[in-house]
Structure 1
Amino acid sequence: MRRRTKIIATLGPSSENLISSLKDKVDIFRVNLAHGDTESHSKYFELIKTQAPTSSILVDLPGPKLRVGDIGKVELRAGQEILFSMNEGIVVQEPLFYRSVRPGSEILLADGIIKVRVTEVSNDQVKAIVETSGILTSRKGINIPDMVLETGLTDNDFRLMDEALSLGADYIGLSFVLSENDVIKAKSKIQGRAWVISKIEKSQAVQRLFRIVEESDGVMVARGDLGVEIGLENLPYIQRKIIRTSKLLGKPVILATQVLESMVNSPLPSRAEVIDVANSVYQGVDAIMLSDETAAGHYPVEAVQYLDEIITSSEDKVKPLRPSPMRSPDDAIAYAALSLSELSRSDFIAVHSRSGMSVIRVSRLRPKATILAFTPDPSVARKLKLCWGVVPLSIEENVGDLNELVSILDKKCRELGVKGNVVMVAGDPKMESGRTNLLKLHSIDSSLYP
């Protein structure tokens, strides 16, 4: 059985020389622009394009993320007084940090593992008392739960958007989205050249969730900072809410952060991690992303292999939750295609789409049949790799009418070795892009289109 839930793997020092070993199971490679420079980013893009040319590429923008500087490895003990400054103690070089805290503020370090309480604040120094012990290393994240931001996009993000687009990114992940306004600004800049993926990791974003998802091309459940922001005890419910909202609105949703975290240092995942992945598959996520496991872990190939096996086994046993159909003519065709494929026992739904919207409508309903997505636009095909159950394929660009389109789809299905009943979904080539008005139960064996 073809795996329907997609795998995203973050490229990093541990995996940059293993792309050829990962490409058969990785649908999308991720490049985190919060690390490295233009030269290293270009290097990663070149490696992916030469060694895994059929894989798509997701980039992450850093957003207004606060991080400690190069401090090596520091042990912090409860009751200890520490100093944050630009050049000594716990080095933090972002001026936003010093503007965002006041005496009494809580600061969470390294995904909330270490907690400190601010005692004194000056223009470029902050003194604090450690409340929860832990080991702090370079470049770890800083969270200030009561910090209120006006925008999740920075000047550096806009600069990196240009860089990502010039390198050929298929998806651009917006970190620390606060409202739909951040998404609208980014899409205005990107102009459809890449899909905008909104990372939900701030409590402000949870409050504006529906509108953010509505404006986005896709969504990521970024559990690291989100868990720190809303409290770990609230994370399972909010994760389900984000997935449910994304599926309701027909937007691809990615699960991320500490998916197989133990495999950074172990060749085997923990039992809890296996169950977490399986539950995410049951909830119907479109993709699951590995971060440190492949970027900096000791077992990147094994991590991808285990994730592939867990997803495949889970999909084979439990059907993902299916959202209710939306009330529109285009979605009515998609829902009818779902019913037709199941009642006719068709193993494939062939969808012709110029914009990708017809494919997304069918994918949203989580059919048992494999979705063959035929599109004349290579950039659309690359984006559709993110969608659940979708196999993107290229097709001729100039199609005169529906009869010619059916003939072409028949030929392409035969080339793929498809036999028996195939449900065909498409829009009249003479109509505007994004519309769907054709539904046909087509028999390859007795086709009139040799």
Structure 2
Amino acid sequence: MRRTKIVATLGPSSLKLISQLSKFVDVFRVNFAHGDENSRREYVRLIREEAPDSSILIDLPGPKLRVGDIGRMELKRGQEVLFSPKGGITVEDPVFYSSVKEGSVILISDGLIRIKVTNVSEDEVRGVVLDEGVLTSRKGINIPDLNLRSGLTQRDLELLEEAISLKADYVGLSFVLSAEDVRKAKERIKGRAWVVSKIEKRQAVENLKQIILESDAVMVARGDLGVEIGLENLPYVQRKIISTSKTLGRPVILATQVLESMVLNPMPWRAEVIDVANSVYQGVDAIMLSDETASGSYPLEAVRYLHRIITSSEDKVRSTRPTPSGPDDAVASASLALAETSKSKLIVVHTRSGLTALRVSRLRPRSPILCLTPDPEVARRLRLCWGITTVVVKGPSSLDEMVSLAVEHCRRLGVKGSVVIVAGDPSTEPGRTDFIKLHNLDEEKGLKSTKKI
């Protein structure tokens, strides 16, 4: 079983391949920065119909400055260019004209094109091309020294309501700056989806721990983040985001230029393969493909290659033993130790809120995790998390019923030998982890070889 999950962005290249992609894809991403309400609704409908077992991440655009519909422009070094709402390189957002200053450097298309500002007026910006390239419509604009007050725009709040109406499993917040941005979104969502905070601004790195604690999951959005902090600093910051997320018990997704060469080629570059493997070694929960599946020429091949790279790398992932922050974490850690000592084939987790499964998952056990939950929404959200396979079951009313349920599903799967069962007592409030049991499935009734902690 592959334990690191795959997220794939849906787009024109993959619309007719959803069913085939779903054999490898755990979560489909719909980017609300593009399209209109009808097209976005159609994307979600197709996923629900053709990949009913996959979850859906809806990504909000955030305060992203973008080039307008300009077609294709070839920019040469030393060329003078004009930014305006009506001509030249069109930019409609007034924030752009109020933010840039003479001498500022504008970075476009993930920093591939650099333009130095020479003159600024109310609705025009003039500059000189420093690094040339081909510019196409809707490419992102970065101004590294730009400080925003909030990463959540009024447009985001409107799209957030649309995402909730479409029953998104996760909502991605772009350009999060502080924990306050996350809290504001969660107040609107009211527990109806997980909030995924995308770390792609310098301010977010400075407020990293507080943002992660407030979030349900985190994304290392390497495109804009690399432009913001400098590419030479990106490897260290990536490791920091991943390790902090794991320590705090939040799922973490790696994104941007994962297999970028496969947008045009049927095979990845060697450096990309090594990058994916290193990310798996670092312990990410999921890896996301963007242009590779949204607009690339080889979406299915890209997903298959990512699957192959992950599966060949996962046996190098080490279990982790973070210091427990309370009794619930201590019980989860004990389940890992018990599974390793008993050489258990499976860790069976029963959870109502999903927290017990998350506590076990973040330890990266070598044994697969089978998660039983009575809540279909919890089951869908946990599909993002490392090592977890979810099954929706009828909620037991007692510990004995819960153990019987776990044993029943293990036998259905043909599991033999010992398994570890870890859960919260069904008679207590959800969110607790206070029960472990070692059960030998080879015993006829499992009584003589059963130990309860």
Query: Is TM > 0.5 for Structure 1 vs Structure 2?
Result: yes
Is residue 2:343 matched to residue 1:345? Answer: yes
Is residue 2:238 matched to residue 1:252? Answer: no
The structural deviation recorded for 1:323 is 4.7
The structural deviation recorded for 1:409 is 1.5
In structure 2, how many angstroms separate the alpha carbons of the residues matched to 1:350 and 1:202? 38
Q: What is the CA deviation profile of residues 217-259 of structure 1, one whole-angstrom value per residue up to 9, with x for unaligned ones?
A: 0000000000000000000000000001000101000000000
C-alpha distance 4-246 of structure 1, shift in aligned 2 (>3 A): same
Q: Is the contact between residue 169 and residue 380 of structure 2 (CA under 8 Å) also seen in structure 1?
A: yes
For residue 64 of structure 1, what is the aligned residue in structure 2? 63
Is residue 2:413 matched to residue 1:413? Answer: no
**Residue type matched to 2:362 in 1?**
R
For residue 72 of structure 2, what is the aligned residue in structure 1? 73
In structure 2, how many angstroms separate the alpha carbons of the residues matched to 1:290 and 1:425? 33
SS of alignment partner, residue 78 of structure 1? coil
For residue 291 of structure 1, what is the aligned residue in structure 2? 290
For residue 121 of structure 2, what is the aligned residue in structure 1? 122
Is residue 2:430 matched to residue 1:438? Answer: no
The structural deviation recorded for 1:159 is 0.7
Q: Is the contact between residue 284 and residue 321 of structure 1 (CA under 8 Å) also seen in structure 2?
A: no
Q: Is the contact between residue 407 and residue 449 of structure 1 (CA under 8 Å) also seen in structure 2?
A: no
Please tell me the root mean square deviation across aligned C-alpha atoms, in Å: 1.1
C-alpha distance 211-80 of structure 1, shift in aligned 2 (>3 A): same
The unaligned stretches of length 5 or more in structure 1 are none
Q: Is the contact between residue 57 and residue 169 of structure 2 (CA under 8 Å) also seen in structure 1?
A: yes
In structure 2, how many angstroms separate the alpha carbons of the residues matched to 1:115 and 1:52? 41
C-alpha distance 431-211 of structure 1, shift in aligned 2 (>3 A): same
The structural deviation recorded for 1:181 is 0.5
Q: Is the contact between residue 31 and residue 59 of structure 2 (CA under 8 Å) also seen in structure 1?
A: yes
Identity rate, percent? 63
For residue 451 of structure 2, what is the aligned residue in structure 1? none
For residue 381 of structure 1, what is the aligned residue in structure 2? 379
In structure 2, how many angstroms separate the alpha carbons of the residues matched to 1:234 and 1:60? 25
**Residue type matched to 1:431 in 2?**
T
Which residue among 358, 362, 370 is the counterpart of 1:364?
A: 362
**Residue type matched to 2:422 in 1?**
V
Q: Bigger CA drift: 419-428 or 363-372?
A: 419-428
Q: Is the contact between residue 176 and residue 182 of structure 2 (CA under 8 Å) also seen in structure 1?
A: yes
C-alpha distance 67-348 of structure 1, shift in aligned 2 (>3 A): same
For residue 168 of structure 2, what is the aligned residue in structure 1? 169
**Residue type matched to 1:207 in 2?**
E
For residue 228 of structure 1, what is the aligned residue in structure 2? 227
SS of alignment partner, residue 17 of structure 1? helix
- Provide runs of 4+ in structure 1 moved above 3 Å: none
In structure 2, how many angstroms separate the alpha carbons of the residues matched to 1:271 and 1:372? 34
**Residue type matched to 1:402 in 2?**
L
In structure 2, how many angstroms separate the alpha carbons of the residues matched to 1:100 and 1:347? 57
**Residue type matched to 2:441 in 1?**
I
The structural deviation recorded for 1:87 is 1.2
C-alpha distance 87-22 of structure 1, shift in aligned 2 (>3 A): same
In structure 1, how many angstroms separate the alpha carbons of the residues matched to 2:17 and 2:120? 46
* Alignment coverage as a number of residue pairs: 447
SS of alignment partner, residue 314 of structure 1? helix
In structure 1, how many angstroms separate the alpha carbons of the residues matched to 2:256 and 2:182? 22
In structure 1, how many angstroms separate the alpha carbons of the residues matched to 2:194 and 2:327? 25
In structure 2, how many angstroms separate the alpha carbons of the residues matched to 1:74 and 1:326? 55
The unaligned stretches of length 5 or more in structure 2 are 448-453
Q: Bigger CA drift: 110-119 or 415-424?
A: 415-424
**Residue type matched to 2:15 in 1?**
E
